[in-house]
Amino acid sequence: MFDFDMLGLAPTLSAALKRANLNEPTPIQNQAIPLALEGHDILGLAQTGTGKTLAFGLPLIDHLLAQSSKPAPKTARSLVLAPTRELVNQIADNLRPLAEGTKLRVVTVVGGQSINRQINALLKGTDVLVATPGRLMDLMDRGAVDLSTVRHLVLDEADQMLDLGFIHALRKIAPKLGTPRQTMLFSATMPKQMEELSRAYLKDPRRVQVAPPGKAADKVVQSVQFVPQADKPARLREILSNDPEALTLVFSRTKHGAEKLMKGLVADGFNAASIHGNKSQGQRDRAIKAFKSGETNILVATDVAARGIDIPGVSYVINYDLPEVAENYVHRIGRTARAGREGEAIALCAADEVDLLVQIEKLMKTELPVARGTRPEPERNARRGKGGGGGGRGRGAPSKPKAAHGQAPARSGRPRRRRAA
């Protein structure tokens, strides 16, 4: 199949896709949508940025449009669970245009926002409820939502839900859902526990997979720079100065570290904002909105943003700190090279992070190209300061800061502006 018209979607959905100038389905959409339209449970495996939201969203809306019933007060006809507030909002932003011109309602419930407003939004009932597990449990405990009429369940980024401990919430939510129902589970990685989850909640699922779990998007140019921890701030500033107009995501391991890093960048004249768990939902939404519009072009984040940021224009992802969970590296760098675009991922690796790098490379079944420094021997990685450092002449030698940014893809010729001092 080569276009959405051949998938057998409702005319309303075909019109919505045309309004959005979407003509050709991505591979995961091409495989999953026909099976989901037939009512099969779906186990979908695909790297980030491949269009998973429409892969479940289009058949979900199609099924709802085919039904004449309306949701009763406090009920939902379908439920989409996602691990983070940002991802919930992103999913809803993708689904609402599909329901434009219909009577279908899409309601979101997440933590960090007024629970009373969410209770009021659920009073009328909803066709699609998109939620984080924690806030949904709060609403269930208050008797604000009845899930017994749910006939379609979607678990998006299910592997991260496992990482964040939401499996316990899922075990409490699932028995409250209606039966029979269709369940679709989507994930970018497939850890062993995911197999157990699929067996528990999917019935005779059809497995669709467009890339091996742990594989990054093909157009992401990856590299690693071996830098002493103390030299990382200066190295980061060099990299950011090489392409000052580019949208750049910088990942820090901790909330405190992300905030400190952002404030230091701002003090040095960079146009930066931060997003992490200590920020209110309003602050996080404003930071993402500013980043998406280009008002802010550097966003410092923890793994709260490793999923749920769908901004096609992100040119660089910089891993200032390597993640302790290897799978999170895949999700982090998946924020660039989205929707077929090119992007670059740069990892700054201190001596005591080499073991984390080894786990990342093992997951991805490839060794990252070294753009700066010398790769330490594994036995020298026990303590900070052993091995690594900024020595050597890799692809990005210190005397040529521009090259240290890696083999960057061609840019669109955007004008450069001088930063305020």
Q: CA 5, CA 74: separation in Å to the nearest integer?
A: 35
- The helix (run of H) or strand (run of E) holding residue 338 is none
The mean pLDDT value of the chain amounts to: 84
User: Is 171's pLDDT higher than 80?
Assistant: yes
- Is the pTM higher than 0.75? The answer reads no
Q: CA 106, CA 129: separation in Å to the nearest integer?
A: 6
What confidence tens digit (pLDDT) does each residue in 37-52 have?
A: 999 999 998 776 678 8
CA atoms within 13 A on the CB side of 348: 25
What is residue 146's DSSP assignment? B
What confidence tens digit (pLDDT) does each residue in 88-116 have?
A: 998 999 999 999 989 999 999 998 889 99
Three-state SS at 168: helix
What confidence tens digit (pLDDT) does each residue in 328-342 have?
A: 888 888 888 665 567
Q: Which of 3-12, 107-116, 123-132, 291-300 has the lowest mean pLDDT?
A: 3-12
Residue 377: pLDDT band (50, 70, 90) is confident
Give me the domains of the chain, ranges plus CATH numbers: 4-209 (3.40.50.300), 220-405 (3.40.50.300)
User: Is 415's pLDDT higher than 50?
Assistant: no
What confidence tens digit (pLDDT) does each residue in 8-67 have?
A: 899 999 999 999 888 889 889 999 999 999 999 999 987 766 788 999 999 999 999 999
Q: CA 95, CA 127: separation in Å to the nearest integer?
A: 11
Amino acid occupying residue 353: E
Cross-strand pairs, 248 = 298, 316
pLDDT reported for residue 102 = 93
